[in-house]
A and B are shown apart, each in its own frame.
Chain A
Amino acid sequence: MLKNLGLTEADSKTTDFLNVLTGNTVMENTKPYAMCYGGHQFGNWAGQLGDGRAINLFEVENDQKQWTVQLKGAGATPYSRTADGLAVLRSSIREYLCSEAMHHLGIPTTRALSLALTGDEVMRDVLYNGNAEYEKGAVVSRISPSFVRFGSFEIFASRQDTATLKTLVDYTINHHFPHLGTPSKAVYIAFFNEVVQRTLSMIIDWQRVGFVHGVMNTDNMSILGLTIDYGPYGWLEGFEEGWTPNTTDMQHKRYRYGNQPNIGLWNLYQLANALYPLVEEVEPLEAALNQYRADFELGSIQMMRNKIGLKTEKQQDKSLIKDLETLLQLTETDMTIFFRNLAAFKKDNPNEGLEWIKEAFYSPTEVTDTIKQQWKDWFQHYATRLQLETVSDSERKKAMNAVNPKYVLRNYMAQLAIDDADKGDYALIDELYQLLKKPYAEQPENEKWFAKRPEWARHKVGCSMLSCSS
């Protein structure tokens, strides 16, 4: 990231750099600011929100690219509402590691540049249950071409402030979608279409790797289609469409894994409503939203084809994939291990199928003869389907390993790094950071991280349950 900004390793060792990226000094010719935006939270309009914990320092232009540098946890703003604008080490480690992991998985995301301890203690109630404790304070610096959100537009639409709305839309197009041309009604429609497509593509990527954002409110949706705001996110361990890591969302599970594509669409409807005053026509906005539905259908099947190594398209793929998704949920089955090990399957030996993937089962005793038979049947269908492909087993394996990561930031891994860091040992943060730089590589020396979630982590706070507290 340093290089992207035009900085050197030597720069990063200076006191200047440390002071600026912790908010301790404000650089000359810069004026830090907090953005005003609104948003729909858990389906309801929440009014004005804004950067309550984030402070934008400045923009940098380098190699004809524009970057905004933002601090998270550097103090209160007019938008902090009842909070203090600070961040704790726990949530800062999670943001730092996950945003970088996502980048290296090839998923559009904001980036992290640095993670620093502030030396202050911050009071937090982790589960919002009245048990507040002091935690180490930290500041993360994060980088993105823009931090503008769906909610940035919604706030002006909600206040019938079309003038400011137009100013912001025009600015966004001019700086971040310049290929669309000079802002006009037609360009606004093209802009919306592109946001729809980028958002969809990002969410299909999430589904591919088992990432659950946890709090897909419209103020957490980037206008650039980047993954943004790493809060109570989690990674699927067992493949389970109904899973969410966010304790705040336990009742309705609005933001569960299997619902993310629907929520993406719902959020885009809110954006369409916000842009309507500039477009003044419903049809083109609706057409873009309908396109999302159609493209999601096709895109998610294609993504699953890639995951199981199918290069060609056949009529029966849809049912083969649907059957697989059902099977994966009959008994807790580790998503990452399953797809990674499936790559070793030999199309001439369907009877071996179960052997290759059984390591993914959390409770082997739950795998009854009936379930085993269902798997055997599926592997027969899969083998028959693979015979229609021209690629060899080894070529298929290579292609599958390029879309099925071996290493993801499992929930307990982040928690181990946090537990160590609380004791003053920061080595594991770097170990995980290095590991997750090459998520698709075999890295045999790191095999210990290619393992199911340990049993102690099943119901541990931070490993399977997270709140928005940060």
Chain B
Amino acid sequence: MKLNIKNTFIEELPADPVLDNNRRQVKEACFSYVTPKKQRNQSFYTFLMKC
């Protein structure tokens, strides 16, 4: 899988310096870095639909 990745949003806009994933007020930043959750049952992942 080859994608022509660009990261303009995170490269050109100010980031939240806090990296913890706790609920908070975020000031002077357009986004916070987060990591998607790994589900318990990884083997269960199945596609139902793809466009």
Candidates B4, B18, B23, B49; contact of A81 at CB < 8 Å: B23
A377 within 8 Å of B (CB atoms):
no
Contact B45 A114 (CB under 8 A): no
Closest to B15 in A: A33
Contact A71 B36 (CB under 8 A): yes
Candidates A2, A31, A115; contact of B33 at CB < 8 Å: A31
Candidates A12, A60, A117; contact of B46 at CB < 8 Å: A117
With a cutoff of 8 Å between Cβ atoms, the chain B residues found around residue A164 in the complex are: 14, 28-30
Supposing A16-B1, A24-B42 touch, asked if A75 and B49 sit within 8 A by C-beta, the answer is no
Contact B34 A61 (CB under 8 A): no
Closest to B32 in A: A78
Enumerate A5-27 residues with CB–CB distance to B below 8 Å.
5-7, 11-12, 14, 16-20, 22-24, 26-27
Enumerate A202-225 residues with CB–CB distance to B below 8 Å.
none
Contact A32 B26 (CB under 8 A): no
Bound-state CA distance A30–B5 (Å) is 8
A183: min CB distance to chain B, Å: 13
With a cutoff of 8 Å between Cβ atoms, the chain B residues found around residue A271 in the complex are: none
With a cutoff of 8 Å between Cβ atoms, the chain A residues found around residue B44 in the complex are: 117-120
With a cutoff of 8 Å between Cβ atoms, the chain B residues found around residue A66 in the complex are: 6, 8
B41: min CB distance to chain A, Å: 4
Candidates A14, A26, A78, A430; contact of B1 at CB < 8 Å: A14
A168 within 8 Å of B (CB atoms):
yes
Supposing A50-B26, A79-B23 touch, asked if A111 and B36 sit within 8 A by C-beta, the answer is no
Closest to B45 in A: A22
* Interface of B (DSSP majority class): loop
Enumerate B16-40 residues with CB–CB distance to A below 8 Å.
16, 18, 20-40
Bound-state CA distance A61–B9 (Å) is 13
Bound-state CA distance A57–B43 (Å) is 21
Among A59, A74, A96, A112, the most chain B Cβ lie within 10 Å of the Cβ of A59
Among B21, B27, B48, the most chain A Cβ lie within 10 Å of the Cβ of B48
Contact B30 A168 (CB under 8 A): yes
Bound-state CA distance A164–B14 (Å) is 8
Contact A12 B21 (CB under 8 A): no
Contact A2 B37 (CB under 8 A): no
With a cutoff of 8 Å between Cβ atoms, the chain B residues found around residue A27 in the complex are: 3, 5
Supposing A59-B5, A118-B39 touch, asked if A77 and B50 sit within 8 A by C-beta, the answer is no
With a cutoff of 8 Å between Cβ atoms, the chain B residues found around residue A120 in the complex are: 39-41, 44
A365: min CB distance to chain B, Å: 42
Q: How many residues of B contact A (CB 8 A)?
A: 48
A58 within 8 Å of B (CB atoms):
yes
Contact B37 A76 (CB under 8 A): yes
With a cutoff of 8 Å between Cβ atoms, the chain B residues found around residue A62 in the complex are: 4
Contact B47 A114 (CB under 8 A): yes
Contact B48 A33 (CB under 8 A): no
Supposing A2-B51, A36-B16, A81-B23 touch, asked if A59 and B8 sit within 8 A by C-beta, the answer is yes
Supposing A1-B51, A30-B7, A116-B47 touch, asked if A152 and B30 sit within 8 A by C-beta, the answer is yes
Bound-state CA distance A31–B10 (Å) is 8
Supposing A7-B1, A55-B36, A76-B37 touch, asked if A48 and B7 sit within 8 A by C-beta, the answer is no
Contact B16 A58 (CB under 8 A): no
Bound-state CA distance A4–B14 (Å) is 28
A202: min CB distance to chain B, Å: 21
A426 within 8 Å of B (CB atoms):
yes
Contact B9 A118 (CB under 8 A): no
With a cutoff of 8 Å between Cβ atoms, the chain A residues found around residue B29 in the complex are: 36, 164
Closest to A80 in B: B23
Candidates B1, B14, B25, B46; contact of A167 at CB < 8 Å: B14
Supposing A77-B21, A81-B23, A116-B47 touch, asked if A33 and B5 sit within 8 A by C-beta, the answer is no
Given contacts A116-B45, A117-B48, 16 further A-B contacts (CB under 8 A): A1-B51, A7-B1, A7-B3, A17-B1, A31-B7, A31-B10, A33-B9, A33-B32, A35-B31, A50-B26, A59-B8, A60-B6, A75-B37, A119-B41, A119-B42, A164-B14
B residues whose Cβ falls under 8 Å from a Cβ of A: 1-10, 12-16, 18, 20-51
A residues whose Cβ falls under 8 Å from a Cβ of B: 1-2, 5-7, 11-12, 14, 16-20, 22-24, 26-27, 29-36, 48, 50, 55-62, 66, 68, 71, 74-81, 85-86, 96, 100, 111-120, 137-138, 152, 159, 161, 163-164, 167-168, 171, 175, 421, 426, 429-430, 433
- The 5 A-B residue pairs whose C-beta atoms are closest, nearest first, are A119-B44, A23-B36, A75-B37, A119-B41, A74-B36
5 A-B residue contacts at CB 8 Å? Answer: A34-B31, A34-B32, A115-B50, A116-B48, A167-B14
